[in-house]
Amino acid sequence: MNSESLQLDRSAIISHIAEQIPRHSLAAYPTPLMRANGLTALFEGTELWFKRDDLISFGLGGNKIRGLEVMLADVLAQNASWLITGAGVQSNHVRATAFVAAYAGISCTAVYWGKQPATVDGNFRVTKMLNAQFHFTNDDDRASVDTHIQLIADNLREQGHRPYAIPRGGACVRGVLGHVLAVFELYQQCLCQGLAPDAIVLAVGSGGTYAGWLLGIRLLNLPWKMLCYTVSREPKQVSQQVADLATEAAALLKLAWAFTIQDAPVYGGFIGQGYGIPSQEAAEAIKLVGRTEGLILDPVYTGKAMAGFLYGLQNKYFGDYKRIVFIHTGGEPAFFAGTGDWLNAGL
Ligand SMILES: *Cc1c(COP(=O)(O)O)cnc(C)c1O
């Protein structure tokens, strides 16, 4: 097939699939796709680009807004009156959900694992400002969030409310479909800008975003490789979760596609001491990108993914990739939270 008919084919797929994904748009799209001139000069032979989802123009931005836009269409269709979700106290997803609830004029409950911290800062400050009710599980096991979300939803229902529970971290099929739309957006943007990427770099937490990218890339049959860095779970566990979510989301589009862990490779080794704990490598990556590109990565997700990606570049893992797009998924509030000098801890 020549490239023109391939393009026609893809735009037909985009309209056909997008029709099946109702979304309540909250921001102006597309987000900017910008060439990283300073980094490109540093790493000769590989052109680097940033897709600025950190600039999504709603609720402090970040990838979580894309998933929530698809969920919001469902929330409004069901006439739900209360959003409940959860994660860690500095969660971008919880903050974004609280923004969506406030904007839609409905109530919100945030469920956090662990004990309530003595300080109020970063995303927790924003979430409280938005009048979200919050609840700490007093259990460091993150799965405690899942059971508490269910309990609270059941309680609210008994009281006559119409709760809408969003799984921890926003990792659910509708969220995944929001990221399928992001793939469509980037594809069309690349056509306009005359860019043909070889690979996409992504930070991976609960895996919903990656699942959407996998599915979107397969739908359009794009030659884009995914370079994904886990910041939380073990690579194998994430790959399984991503494959399952992508399979489930495909089913919602009436496609009997099965994704396996081989379809969802994930790089490990850059988590550092744990989820949410700044690492030396991430600090170095954040400083390099800040000083060369005029943008801020976060210490929890994008900083660690960038650290892993830079390591790969330096060690020539991606030899034949000429153009690579790093998805800046947001998370800046964590950069400003707290008083620790983690950026300079290793100096
Ligand atoms: C949540 C998040 C991610 C990862 O998205 P998942 O869908 O949870 O894998 C990446 N970057 C930032 C800034 C995030 O908040």
Phi first, then psi: give them for residue 165, nearest 5 degrees: -90, 130
Q: Is the CB of 299 under 6 A from ligand 1?
A: no
Which secondary-structure segment (H or E) carries 85?
strand 82-87
The total of structural domains in the chain comes to 2
The closest of 23, 43, 14 to 314, measured between CA atoms, is 43
**Most informative mutation of 60, 97, 329 for ligand 1 (most atoms within 8 A of CB):** 329
Which residue out of 91, 206, 232, 239 is catalytically annotated? 91
Give the integer Cα–Cα distance in Å for 172 and 166. 7
Please state, rounded to an integer, the average pLDDT across all residues of the chain: 96
Q: Is the CB of 63 under 6 A from ligand 1?
A: yes
Domain that holds residue 100: 64-170
Looking at residues 225-235, what average pLDDT do you find?
A: 97
Q: Is the CB of 207 under 6 A from ligand 1?
A: yes
Structural domain ending residue among the three candidates 142, 170, 198:
170
If asked whether residues 22 and 110 sit together in one domain, one would say no
Query: Is the pLDDT at 130 greater than 60, yes or no?
Result: yes
Distance 104 CA to ligand 1 centre (A): 23
Query: Is the pLDDT at 2 greater than 80, yes or no?
Result: no
Query: Is the pLDDT at 347 greater than 70, yes or no?
Result: no
Q: Is the CB of 90 under 6 A from ligand 1?
A: no
If asked whether residues 237 and 190 sit together in one domain, one would say yes
pLDDT score of 4: 80
pLDDT score of 44: 84
Q: Is 279 a catalytic residue?
A: no
CATH code of residue 301: 3.40.50.1100
Question: Tell me: the pLDDT tens digits for 138-173?
Answer: 999 999 999 999 999 999 999 999 999 999 999 999
Q: Is the CB of 202 under 6 A from ligand 1?
A: no
Q: Which residues contact 142 (CB under 8 A, 6 or more apart)?
A: 87, 88, 113, 168
* pTM for the predicted model, two decimal places: 0.97
**Sheet of 33-35, strand order:** 33-35, 47-52, 323-328, 199-204, 225-230
Question: Tell me: the pLDDT tens digits for 88-125?
Answer: 999 999 999 999 999 999 999 999 999 999 999 999 99
**Most informative mutation of 51, 53, 63, 210 for ligand 1 (most atoms within 8 A of CB):** 63
Query: Is the pLDDT at 210 greater than 70, yes or no?
Result: yes
Looking at residues 251-271, what average pLDDT do you find?
A: 97
Query: Is the pLDDT at 8 greater than 80, yes or no?
Result: no
Q: Is the CB of 205 under 6 A from ligand 1?
A: yes
Work out the burial of residue 58: count CB atoms within 10 Å of its CB; fewer than 13 is exposed, 13-18 middle, 19 or more buried: middle
Distance 174 CA to ligand 1 centre (A): 15
If asked whether residues 183 and 255 sit together in one domain, one would say yes
- Percent of the chain exceeding pLDDT 70 equals 99
pLDDT score of 1: 59
If asked whether residues 195 and 218 sit together in one domain, one would say yes
If asked whether residues 144 and 223 sit together in one domain, one would say no
Question: Tell me: the pLDDT tens digits for 15-27?
Answer: 999 999 999 999 9
pLDDT score of 217: 98
**Most informative mutation of 85, 99, 206 for ligand 1 (most atoms within 8 A of CB):** 206
